[in-house]
Amino acid sequence: MVGISKCQLKLRRSSAGLFVLCLLGLSSQVYGQCSFSGTSGTISVKFTSPKSLSIPADTPNGTKVLTVNGSGIERLFKCGSTDKHGIQDVSEGVASNGILPFADSGLGYKLSSAGGLEPIYPIDFGTWSTITVKTPYVMEIYKTGPIKESKITAGKFASYLAGSLTIYEASLVGDLNIAAASCEVRSTNVDMGRHLISDFKGLGSTLKFKDFNIELLGCGAGIKSIEYKLGPTNGIFDSKKGIAKLDAGGVPGVGIQIKRGANPVSLGEWLTDL
């Protein structure tokens, strides 16, 4: 940027009186120019994450779910006060609460180096000074929204920019597969025994209940609550009363009722009480 100096005022006398001459001078001062200090060139910072990450769906947004240490060498650089610098997402994702998004996965990240959090681009550099980026390089991953089963592909995901310089490029070593943590249900067969039609005492009457359990397996770490739904294979007589139809070979007008204690379990609806 080229600046203009102040006018130099001179008075001249003529037959018409006094007039003012303003002599303009140009200054050659240059503002805002980033440069490396010492060794120059963009460096590569690599983060080796686990192959998969399973996150409970009820994890609050803003929760840190993973910390990954990176590897890379050191760089020093300096800029002018008006220069812009900071971390820019490779897909130009917009930061929210200081967290850059990993696409629409429901996760985002922050980067740190030399023990300090990196700013989000673009932010003014401030006063003239020298900045050092070096180990420890750290990536913190946060939950930012509903978890979408997806894959964060290996490769460059962000850059640290300073003026016209790229200080470092951050990349993932290997794909990171994202999933919402869940549980598996073990199949349960319940022997209801043999009964006669005459055992029923009329419309709405029931026979003896048979106790059974639904076993959940492989629940991911951190799951504190679950949602579940009972969906009868052969259809529903009455959802609110928890009455399911028998299979095609069953007796007409007879169904199976599911209760939890003394209360019917609604069928075909998402439930949270266990």
| Residue 11 within a domain | no
189: tokens are 């067969």
β pairing state of 84-89 and 100-101: unpaired
Model pLDDT, residue 128: 62
CA-atom Rg of the chain in angstroms: 34
Q: Please say which residue of 181, 214, 247 terminates a domain.
A: 181
Q: How many Å apart are CA 182 and CA 165, to the nearest integer?
A: 44
Q: Please say which residue of 137, 156, 181 terminates a domain.
A: 181
pLDDT in tens, the chain (274 residues): 333 333 333 434 444 444 444 333 333 333 458 999 999 999 999 999 999 998 887 789 999 999 999 999 999 999 988 899 999 999 999 999 999 999 999 999 999 999 999 999 999 998 767 899 999 999 999 999 999 889 999 999 999 999 999 999 999 999 999 987 777 788 788 888 888 888 888 888 888 888 888 888 777 666 667 778 888 888 888 999 999 988 766 777 888 999 888 899 999 888 877 6
Closest to 46 measured CA to CA, from 134, 156, 162: 156
| Residue 10 within a domain | no
pTM of the model: 0.65
* 47-91 pLDDT, tens digit each: 999 999 988 877 899 999 999 999 999 999 999 888 999 999 999
Model pLDDT, residue 21: 41
Closest to 253 measured CA to CA, from 239, 267, 265, 238: 238
Q: Range of 226's domain?
A: 183-274
6: tokens are 């102040």
Omega of the bond leading into 56 within 30 degrees of 0 (cis) = no
Q: How many Å apart are CA 60 and CA 166, to the nearest integer?
A: 34
Residue whose token pair is 């001249």: 12
Residues 175 and 46 in one domain: yes
Q: Please say which residue of 153, 181, 209 terminates a domain.
A: 181
Residues 168 and 192 in one domain: no
* 201-219 pLDDT, tens digit each: 888 888 888 888 888 877 7
Taking a C-beta distance cutoff of 8 angstroms, is the pair 141, 68 a contact?
Answer: yes
| Residue 239 within a domain | yes
DSSP string for 105-153: SSEEEEEEETTEEPPBSSEE--SSEEEEE-SPEEEEEEE-SS---EEE-
Residues 62 and 158 in one domain: yes
Residues 170 and 77 in one domain: yes
Q: How many Å apart are CA 122 and CA 63, to the nearest integer?
A: 25
Residues 201 and 266 in one domain: yes
Query: Which neighbouring-strand residues pair with 108?
Result: 101, 142
| Residue 30 within a domain | no
Residues 49 and 158 in one domain: yes
Taking a C-beta distance cutoff of 8 angstroms, is the pair 245, 235 a contact?
Answer: yes
